Structure 1
Amino acid sequence: MLIHGIHRTKPAKAVLVLLLLCFVWAWLSNVQGVRLTDDLIPGRHHVDKSTKHTGKLRSRVGKVTVAANKLASDVIHRALLSHERHNARHGYVHYIAEHQAVSGLIEHDRLHRAKGAWTKPAYLLSIIVAELEKPEEERLEWIYWFDADTLVMNTETPLEVFLPPANSSALSEVDLLITTNWDGLNSGVFALRVSPWSVSLLSAVLAYPIYEAPRTQKDRFRDQSAFQFLLENGESPLANVPMKGRDRWVKVPMRWFNSLPVNNAFFKNGTWIFGKNMTKAMFDNGTTEVFDDGHGGKVNPWKVMQGDLVVHFAGSSNVRDSWMEPWVERAEANLPEWNNATTKYLLKEEAAEFWKKTEEQLVIDKAKSKIEEEQKKKAQKEREKKEKKEKEEKDKAEKERLEQVRIEKEQKAKDAAEKKIATAEKKRLDAENKAIQKHDKKLAKEKVQEQKASARAQKAALAKQTATQLITDTARSHPANKTAVASVSTATQLTPSSASR
Structure 2
Amino acid sequence: MFLLRHSVLENTWSKPAYILAVMLEEMRKPEAHQLKWLFWVDAAAIVMNPKISLDVFLPPAEFSHIHFLATEGEHGLNTGVFFIKVHPWPIGLLSAIIAFPGYRSDVQLAESDQSAMSELLKETYFQENHLLIPRNWFNSYQIEHDDNDPNHPWQINFGDLLVHFPKGQHQDERIRKYIDHAERHLPECEVDFENKTYLREIQSFWAGLHVEIMSEKD
Question: When the two structures are superposed, what TM-score results if normalisation uses the length of structure 1?
Answer: 0.42
2: distance between equivalents of 1:343 and 1:206? 40
Instruction: From the superposition, tell whether residues 362 and 206 of structure 1 become closer, same or farther in structure 2 (CA, over 3 Å).
Output: farther
Alignment of 1:323-472 (within 5 A): 323-342=174-193, 346-365=197-216, 367=217
2: distance between equivalents of 1:320 and 1:303? 15
1:287 positional shift = 4.7
Q: Does structure 1 residue 175 correspond to structure 2 residue 67?
A: yes
Instruction: Name the residue aligned to 1:312.
Output: 164
2: distance between equivalents of 1:328 and 1:343? 24
Instruction: From the superposition, tell whether residues 196 and 342 of structure 1 become closer, same or farther in structure 2 (CA, over 3 Å).
Output: closer
Instruction: Name the residue aligned to 1:222.
Output: 112
2: distance between equivalents of 1:154 and 1:343? 13
1:253 positional shift = 0.4
- Checking the alignment, whether the CA contact within 8 Å between 2:49 and 2:191 is kept in structure 1 is yes
1:345 positional shift = 5.8
Q: Does structure 1 residue 132 correspond to structure 2 residue 24?
A: no
- What amino acid sits opposite 1:348 in the alignment? L
2: distance between equivalents of 1:185 and 1:320? 21
- Checking the alignment, whether the CA contact within 8 Å between 1:143 and 1:194 is kept in structure 2 is yes
Q: Does structure 1 residue 253 correspond to structure 2 residue 160?
A: no
1:348 positional shift = 2.3
Instruction: From the superposition, tell whether residues 230 and 161 of structure 1 become closer, same or farther in structure 2 (CA, over 3 Å).
Output: same
SS in structure 2 opposite 1:219? coil
Cα deviation digits, residues 124-181 of structure 1 (max 9, x gap): 0111111111111111111111111110010100110100112x1xx11001111012
Instruction: Name the residue aligned to 1:190.
Output: 82
Cα deviation digits, residues 269-327 of structure 1 (max 9, x gap): xxxx5xxxxxxxx451x252xxxxxxxxx431x321111101111214x7432121111
- What amino acid sits opposite 1:224 in the alignment? Q
Instruction: Name the residue aligned to 1:201.
Output: 93
Structure showing greater relative contact order (alpha-carbon pairs closer than 8 Å, 6 or more residues apart): 2
- What amino acid sits opposite 1:252 in the alignment? I
Instruction: From the superposition, tell whether residues 363 and 142 of structure 1 become closer, same or farther in structure 2 (CA, over 3 Å).
Output: farther
Instruction: Name the residue aligned to 1:162.
Output: 57
- What amino acid sits opposite 1:303 in the alignment? Q
- Checking the alignment, whether the CA contact within 8 Å between 2:39 and 2:83 is kept in structure 1 is yes
Instruction: Name the residue aligned to 1:211.
Output: 103
SS in structure 2 opposite 1:179? strand
- What amino acid sits opposite 1:313 in the alignment? F
- What amino acid sits opposite 1:323 in the alignment? R
Question: What is the total number of aligned residue pairs between the two structures?
Answer: 218
Instruction: Name the residue aligned to 2:2.
Output: 95
Question: When the two structures are superposed, what TM-score results if normalisation uses the length of structure 2?
Answer: 0.92
1:344 positional shift = 6.7
Cα deviation digits, residues 69-114 of structure 1 (max 9, x gap): xxxxxxxxxxxxxxxxxxxxxxxxx100211112xxxx3xxxxxxx
1: distance between equivalents of 2:86 and 2:127? 18
The structure carrying a bigger helix percent of its residues is: 1
- Checking the alignment, whether the CA contact within 8 Å between 2:45 and 2:162 is kept in structure 1 is yes
1:213 positional shift = 1.7
Cα deviation digits, residues 312-361 of structure 1 (max 9, x gap): 11214x74321211111111111111112145763123212211112222
1:182 positional shift = 2.0
Question: What 5-or-longer segments of structure 2 have no aligned partner?
Answer: none
- What amino acid sits opposite 1:121 in the alignment? P
Q: Does structure 1 residue 299 correspond to structure 2 residue 152?
A: yes
- Checking the alignment, whether the CA contact within 8 Å between 2:136 and 2:160 is kept in structure 1 is yes
